[in-house]
Amino acid sequence: MRIAFLMAPEGVEQIELTDPWQAVTDAGHEAVLVSTKSGKIQAFNHLDKADTFPVQEVVGETSADSFDGLVLPGGVANPDALRMDEKAVSFVRDFFDQGRPVAAICHAPWTLVEADVVSDRVLTSWPSLQTDLRNAGATWVDEQVRICDHGPNILITSRKPDDLKAFREAVLTEFSKAAG
Protein backbone atom coordinates (compact mmCIF):
# COMPACT_ATOMS: atom_id res chain seq x y z
CA MET A 1 0.00 0.00 0.00
CA ARG A 2 1.03 3.58 -0.66
CA ILE A 3 -0.15 5.94 2.10
CA ALA A 4 -0.11 9.75 1.93
CA PHE A 5 0.70 11.71 5.09
CA LEU A 6 -0.54 15.25 4.46
CA MET A 7 0.76 18.20 6.44
CA ALA A 8 1.46 21.90 6.23
CA PRO A 9 5.05 23.16 6.01
CA GLU A 10 4.96 23.95 9.73
CA GLY A 11 3.06 22.92 12.82
CA VAL A 12 2.57 19.15 12.76
CA GLU A 13 2.83 17.40 16.14
CA GLN A 14 5.92 15.26 15.54
CA ILE A 15 4.80 12.10 17.36
CA GLU A 16 1.50 12.14 15.43
CA LEU A 17 3.54 11.98 12.23
CA THR A 18 6.38 9.66 13.24
CA ASP A 19 4.44 7.03 15.17
CA PRO A 20 1.88 6.11 12.45
CA TRP A 21 4.58 6.58 9.78
CA GLN A 22 6.79 4.00 11.52
CA ALA A 23 3.85 1.59 11.85
CA VAL A 24 3.06 1.91 8.13
CA THR A 25 6.66 1.37 7.04
CA ASP A 26 7.24 -1.46 9.57
CA ALA A 27 4.23 -3.22 8.01
CA GLY A 28 5.96 -3.04 4.62
CA HIS A 29 3.92 -0.21 3.14
CA GLU A 30 5.14 3.00 1.53
CA ALA A 31 4.59 6.21 3.52
CA VAL A 32 4.79 9.42 1.48
CA LEU A 33 5.08 12.91 2.99
CA VAL A 34 2.84 15.27 1.04
CA SER A 35 2.74 19.00 1.77
CA THR A 36 1.55 22.26 0.30
CA LYS A 37 5.12 23.35 -0.52
CA SER A 38 8.31 21.57 -1.51
CA GLY A 39 11.35 21.43 0.76
CA LYS A 40 10.99 20.36 4.38
CA ILE A 41 8.26 20.51 6.98
CA GLN A 42 8.97 21.70 10.52
CA ALA A 43 7.51 19.44 13.19
CA PHE A 44 6.81 20.45 16.78
CA ASN A 45 6.73 18.86 20.21
CA HIS A 46 3.75 20.82 21.49
CA LEU A 47 4.98 24.42 21.09
CA ASP A 48 8.69 23.67 20.72
CA LYS A 49 10.37 23.13 17.36
CA ALA A 50 11.35 19.52 16.79
CA ASP A 51 12.76 17.80 13.70
CA THR A 52 12.34 18.62 10.03
CA PHE A 53 11.24 16.09 7.42
CA PRO A 54 11.67 16.17 3.62
CA VAL A 55 8.59 16.68 1.48
CA GLN A 56 8.26 13.92 -1.12
CA GLU A 57 5.24 15.16 -3.07
CA VAL A 58 3.39 18.45 -3.29
CA VAL A 59 -0.38 18.93 -3.27
CA GLY A 60 -1.44 20.08 -6.71
CA GLU A 61 1.31 17.98 -8.33
CA THR A 62 -0.03 14.67 -7.01
CA SER A 63 -3.48 13.17 -6.68
CA ALA A 64 -5.48 10.98 -4.34
CA ASP A 65 -5.73 8.24 -6.95
CA SER A 66 -2.00 7.54 -6.62
CA PHE A 67 -2.49 6.51 -2.96
CA ASP A 68 -4.34 3.75 -1.13
CA GLY A 69 -5.12 5.90 1.91
CA LEU A 70 -4.53 9.18 3.70
CA VAL A 71 -3.26 9.96 7.20
CA LEU A 72 -3.76 13.43 8.65
CA PRO A 73 -1.49 14.06 11.65
CA GLY A 74 -2.51 16.80 14.08
CA GLY A 75 -0.93 19.62 15.95
CA VAL A 76 -2.89 22.87 16.26
CA ALA A 77 -1.15 24.89 13.52
CA ASN A 78 -0.92 22.07 10.96
CA PRO A 79 -4.63 21.49 10.20
CA ASP A 80 -5.37 25.18 10.63
CA ALA A 81 -2.94 25.94 7.78
CA LEU A 82 -4.18 23.03 5.66
CA ARG A 83 -7.80 24.11 5.89
CA MET A 84 -6.82 27.49 4.42
CA ASP A 85 -5.15 25.87 1.41
CA GLU A 86 -7.64 25.15 -1.38
CA LYS A 87 -5.48 22.46 -3.00
CA ALA A 88 -4.98 20.63 0.31
CA VAL A 89 -8.72 20.68 1.04
CA SER A 90 -9.45 19.39 -2.45
CA PHE A 91 -6.83 16.64 -2.03
CA VAL A 92 -8.53 15.48 1.19
CA ARG A 93 -12.00 15.61 -0.38
CA ASP A 94 -10.77 13.51 -3.32
CA PHE A 95 -9.99 10.59 -0.97
CA PHE A 96 -13.61 10.61 0.16
CA ASP A 97 -14.92 10.99 -3.40
CA GLN A 98 -12.81 8.00 -4.46
CA GLY A 99 -13.82 5.84 -1.47
CA ARG A 100 -10.30 5.61 -0.05
CA PRO A 101 -9.70 5.30 3.71
CA VAL A 102 -8.74 8.37 5.72
CA ALA A 103 -7.33 8.63 9.25
CA ALA A 104 -7.09 11.83 11.32
CA ILE A 105 -5.79 12.42 14.84
CA CYS A 106 -6.06 15.24 17.36
CA HIS A 107 -6.77 18.59 15.63
CA ALA A 108 -6.60 17.09 12.11
CA PRO A 109 -10.41 16.82 11.76
CA TRP A 110 -10.45 20.60 11.24
CA THR A 111 -9.26 19.87 7.71
CA LEU A 112 -12.10 17.35 7.33
CA VAL A 113 -14.60 20.04 8.38
CA GLU A 114 -13.24 22.36 5.69
CA ALA A 115 -13.45 19.55 3.11
CA ASP A 116 -17.14 19.15 4.06
CA VAL A 117 -16.85 15.39 4.65
CA VAL A 118 -17.95 14.95 8.29
CA SER A 119 -21.72 15.33 7.98
CA ASP A 120 -23.59 12.27 9.29
CA ARG A 121 -20.34 10.67 10.50
CA VAL A 122 -19.36 9.67 14.02
CA LEU A 123 -15.84 10.70 14.98
CA THR A 124 -13.55 11.78 17.77
CA SER A 125 -10.84 14.43 18.04
CA TRP A 126 -9.07 16.67 20.49
CA PRO A 127 -11.97 17.77 22.73
CA SER A 128 -11.83 21.45 21.72
CA LEU A 129 -12.99 20.52 18.19
CA GLN A 130 -16.27 18.91 19.26
CA THR A 131 -18.38 22.05 18.69
CA ASP A 132 -16.86 22.60 15.24
CA LEU A 133 -17.51 18.97 14.31
CA ARG A 134 -21.10 19.04 15.59
CA ASN A 135 -21.75 22.30 13.74
CA ALA A 136 -20.49 20.58 10.58
CA GLY A 137 -23.04 17.77 11.05
CA ALA A 138 -20.91 15.11 12.75
CA THR A 139 -21.61 13.22 15.93
CA TRP A 140 -18.64 13.67 18.29
CA VAL A 141 -17.66 10.94 20.77
CA ASP A 142 -14.95 10.85 23.43
CA GLU A 143 -13.16 7.60 22.52
CA GLN A 144 -9.54 6.53 21.96
CA VAL A 145 -10.25 5.69 18.37
CA ARG A 146 -13.41 5.71 16.29
CA ILE A 147 -13.88 3.84 13.03
CA CYS A 148 -16.74 5.23 10.96
CA ASP A 149 -17.76 3.07 8.03
CA HIS A 150 -20.05 5.47 6.20
CA GLY A 151 -20.55 5.15 2.51
CA PRO A 152 -17.77 3.96 0.27
CA ASN A 153 -14.90 4.73 2.63
CA ILE A 154 -13.65 4.34 6.17
CA LEU A 155 -12.80 7.27 8.43
CA ILE A 156 -10.57 6.57 11.43
CA THR A 157 -10.24 9.29 14.06
CA SER A 158 -8.40 9.53 17.35
CA ARG A 159 -8.12 12.12 20.15
CA LYS A 160 -4.48 12.67 21.09
CA PRO A 161 -0.93 11.31 21.28
CA ASP A 162 -1.85 9.10 24.25
CA ASP A 163 -4.17 7.21 21.86
CA LEU A 164 -1.52 6.52 19.20
CA LYS A 165 -1.29 2.78 19.86
CA ALA A 166 -5.02 2.30 19.16
CA PHE A 167 -4.84 4.75 16.23
CA ARG A 168 -1.97 3.03 14.42
CA GLU A 169 -3.54 -0.43 14.94
CA ALA A 170 -6.82 0.81 13.46
CA VAL A 171 -5.01 2.46 10.54
CA LEU A 172 -3.12 -0.72 9.65
CA THR A 173 -6.18 -2.96 10.03
CA GLU A 174 -8.70 -0.79 8.21
CA PHE A 175 -6.37 0.37 5.42
CA SER A 176 -5.41 -3.26 4.74
CA LYS A 177 -9.09 -4.27 4.58
CA ALA A 178 -9.83 -1.44 2.16
CA ALA A 179 -6.91 -2.40 -0.07
CA GLY A 180 -8.42 -5.86 -0.35
- Contact call for residues 6 and 59 (beta carbons, < 8 A): yes
CA nearest to 4, candidates 56, 48, 67, 62 = 67
Helix (H, G, I), strand (E, B) or coil at 53: strand
CA nearest to 111, candidates 93, 130, 94 = 93
For residue 58, list its beta bridge partners: 35
Please, what is the Cα angle at 74 between 113 and 10, to 5 degrees? 105
Rounded Cα distance, 79 and 126, in Å: 12
Specify whether 148 is catalytic.
Answer: no
What is the CATH code for 2-179?
A: 3.40.50.880
pLDDT digits (tens, 9 = 90+) for 144-159: 999 999 877 899 999 9
Name the active-site residue from 12, 104, 106, 122. 106
Confidence (pTM): 0.97
pLDDT digits (tens, 9 = 90+) for 4-30: 999 999 999 999 999 999 999 999 999
Helix (H, G, I), strand (E, B) or coil at 138: coil
